C-alpha cells in the first residue's frame, strides 16, 4: 500500500502512521480483519479490481485492511512510497530477487549477510541460476569490482547479522547509481529507528518484521519497501516484469499505471498473487502493536548492548568482541556516522577456549535464553556456526566472521546489571 505524506516525527509516526479510528465503529485500535474475501458492490467493481483498473480489497492473500495498515506504517517510517508485507523475512528477500531477475541474471551481494539469506542465495543459484556475485570485502570499491553486464542489483544489510558491522550505504548507493542498478538493503538489524536506508540512497528496503519491528518474539513476517525513485524504464526491458505488458491484466504496464510504486506493485502481483506468501492479519496486528514502542525499545537495546559488549571486551576469557560502538573497534567511524545511537543490540564475540567453551557458555546461561531468533525484548544467545550459519562452507563462515568459537548475543531490555551477572556466572564455568 502507498504511504501517506510524512508530516510527523519518528515516535509520533510509530504510534499513528497508517492507522486511524475505524469509520464504522470508532475503534481507536486497528481492527483485525479475519476474512478471506470482501464483498463487491457490483460485477463491474470486481472486474475493475481484478484488472488493476481500480484499487480495492478482493482476497486477503493479496491485500487485507489490517495488513495494509502495517504496510502504510512501515513505509512512512522508512520514507518509502509503498510497502508490501509478506509472510517472513525470507519471503521478502526471495520476492525481491525473483521480481528483479530471471534465470541467468546476477546480483552483487555483500559477503557478510544473515546465514539464512546466504543459504537462500546459494540455493537459488544452484536450482534457478540466479547468481550471487559476492564482493571480496565491504567497501564500495569491492562491490563495484564484481559488477558485470549480467548484474541486475546490489544487495547488502545496513547492519550485518551477526557481527554488527555498519555498511557504507552512501558509498555503495553511489556505485549503484553509476551502473544504473537498484540498491537493496536489508534493514532488519537497524530498524528505521536507527537507520533509514532510503535517505542514504537505497531503492528497496526489506525487513524481517519478526525482529525489532514486532519486538516481542510472538510474530513472523517480512516487508518490502519501495523508495519509488528508481527509473525502471531507463534500462529498456532489463526488468521486464516491471516494464513489459502483463497479458493476464489486459496488457497492464506497471511503470505506466503506477510510475511511483512500480516495484511494490510488481511484488504484489507476482509475489502475492502468483507465489502466495501473504502475511496473516493477526501477525500484521501484532507487528503494528510492536512498532508503537519501537523508538523506546531501540534506545534501551542499544544502551544495554553497548554496556554488555564493553564488559565482555575486558574479560580474560574473551578473544574478541565485534561491536563497532566500542572505542578502537573496526568500523567505529562508520558506526558513528550512520548510527550515533548505537549499532543495534546484535553482536558476536569469541571465546579463547574455542567451540567447547562457546557451547559451555551458552548452556550455562540462566537468564539469557538459548534461542535462534533475535531482536526481541528478552536477551538471547546462540552458537551460529552450528545453527544459523551451519549450511555455509568454511569460506563463507569466515567471510561472515562466524567461527566455532563465536557466540552471538541479542541483548534485550532487562536490567543490564542482571545480564552481566548472568554472563559472568556462565563465563566462570569455563574455568
Share of the chain above pLDDT 70, in %: 99
- For residue 393, name the pLDDT band (cuts at 50, 70, 90): confident
**Which of 28-32, 305-309, 360-364, 388-392 is predicted with the least confidence, judged by mean pLDDT?**
388-392
**Is the distance from CB of 411 to CB of 300 less than 8 angstroms?**
no
Specify the pLDDT at position 36.
96
pLDDT digits (tens, 9 = 90+) for 291-348: 999 999 999 999 999 999 999 999 999 999 999 999 999 899 999 999 999 999 999 9
CATH tag for 295-428 (out of 3.90.1150.10, 3.50.50.60, 3.30.930.10, 2.60.40.10): 3.90.1150.10
pLDDT digits (tens, 9 = 90+) for 173-183: 999 999 999 99
CA dihedral 171, 234, 111, 341 (to 10 degrees): 40
- For residue 197, name the pLDDT band (cuts at 50, 70, 90): very high
Specify the pLDDT at position 3.
53
Specify the pLDDT at position 2.
56
pLDDT digits (tens, 9 = 90+) for 109-140: 999 999 899 999 999 999 999 999 999 999 99
**Domain 10-291 belongs to what topology?**
3.40.640
* Domain residue spans of the chain: 10-291, 295-428
Average pLDDT, the chain: 96
Cα dihedral across residues 78, 84, 85, 87: positive or negative: negative
pLDDT digits (tens, 9 = 90+) for 59-88: 999 999 999 999 999 999 999 999 999 999
pLDDT digits (tens, 9 = 90+) for 283-293: 999 999 999 99
Specify the pLDDT at position 1.
54
Specify the pLDDT at position 6.
54
pLDDT at 276 over 90: yes
Specify the pLDDT at position 396.
82
pLDDT digits (tens, 9 = 90+) for 324-333: 999 999 899 9
In the predicted model, what is the mean pLDDT of residues 212-218? 97
What is the C-alpha separation between 244 and 75, in angstroms, rounded? 26
Specify the pLDDT at position 177.
98
- For residue 399, name the pLDDT band (cuts at 50, 70, 90): confident
Specify the pLDDT at position 296.
99
- For residue 7, name the pLDDT band (cuts at 50, 70, 90): confident
Amino acid at each position: 500500500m502507498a504511504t501517506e505524506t510524512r508530516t510527523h516525527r519518528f515516535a509520533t509516526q510509530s504510534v499513528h502512521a497508517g492507522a486511524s479510528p475505524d469509520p464504522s465503529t470508532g475503534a481507536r485500535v486497528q481492527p483485525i480483519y479475519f476474512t478471506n474475501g470482501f464483498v463487491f458492490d457490483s460485477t463491474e467493481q470486481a472486474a475493475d479490481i481484478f484488472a488493476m483498473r481500480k484499487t480495492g480489497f478482493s482476497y486477503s492473500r493479496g491485500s487485507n485492511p489490517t495488513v495494509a495498515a502495517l504496510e502504510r506504517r512501515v513505509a512512512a517510517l522508512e520514507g518509502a512510497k509503498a510497502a508490501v508485507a509478506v509472510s517472513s523475512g525470507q519471503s521478502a528477500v526471495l520476492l525481491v530477487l525473483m521480481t528483479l531477475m530471471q534465470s541467468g541474471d546476477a546480483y552483487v551481494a555483500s559477503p557478510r549477510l544473515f546465514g539464512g539469506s546466504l543459504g537462500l542465495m546459494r540455493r537459488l543459484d544452484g536450482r534457478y541460476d540466479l547468481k550471487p556475485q559476492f564482493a571480496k570485502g565491504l567497501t564500495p570499491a569491492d562491490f563495484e569490482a564484481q559488477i558485470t553486464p549480467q548484474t541486475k542489483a546490489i544487495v547488502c544489510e545496513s547492519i550485518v547479522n551477526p557481527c554488527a558491522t555498519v555498511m557504507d550505504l552512501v558509498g555503495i548507493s553511489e556505485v549503484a547509481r553509476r551502473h544504473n542498478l537498484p540498491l537493496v538493503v536489508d534493514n532488519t538489524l537497524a530498524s528505521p529507528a536507527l537507520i533509514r536506508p532510503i535517505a542514504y540512497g537505497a531503492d528497496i528496503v526489506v525487513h524481517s518484521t519478526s525482529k525489532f519491528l514486532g519486538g516481542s518474539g510472538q510474530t513472523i513476517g517480512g516487508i518490502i519497501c519501495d523508495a519509488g525513485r528508481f527509473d525502471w524504464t531507463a534500462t529498456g526491458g532489463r526488468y521486464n516484469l516491471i516494464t513489459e505488458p502483463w497479458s493476464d491484466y489486459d496488457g497492464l504496464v506497471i511503470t505506466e499505471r503506477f510510475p511511483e510504486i512500480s516495484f511494490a506493485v510488481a511484488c504484489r502481483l507476482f509475489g502475492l498473487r502468483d507465489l502466495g506468501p501473504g502475511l496473516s492479519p493477526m501477525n500484521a496486528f501484532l507487528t503494528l502493536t510492536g512498532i508503537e514502542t519501537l523508538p523506546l525499545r531501540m534506545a534501551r537495546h542499544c544502551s544495554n548492548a553497548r554496556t554488555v559488549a564493553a564488559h565482555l571486551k575486558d574479560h580474560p576469557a574473551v578473544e574478541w568482541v565485534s561491536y563497532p560502538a566500542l572505542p578502537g573497534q573496526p568500523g567505529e567511524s562508520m558506526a558513528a556516522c550512520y548510527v550515533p545511537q548505537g549499532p543495534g543490540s546484535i553482536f558476536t564475540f569469541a571465546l579463547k577456549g574455542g567451540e567447547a567453551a562457546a557451547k559451555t557458555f551458552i548452556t550455562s546461561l540462566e537468564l539469557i535464553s538459548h534461542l535462534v531468533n533475535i531482536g526481541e525484548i528478552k536477551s538471547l544467545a546462540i552458537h551460529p556456526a552450528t545453527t544459523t550459519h551451519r549450511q555455509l562452507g568454511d569460506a563463507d563462515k569466515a567471510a561472515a566472521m562466524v567461527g566455532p568459537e563465536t557466540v552471538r548475543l541479542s541483548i534485550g531490555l532487562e536490567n543490564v546489571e542482571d545480564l552481566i551477572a548472568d554472563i559472568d556466572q556462565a563465563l566462570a564455568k569455563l574455568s
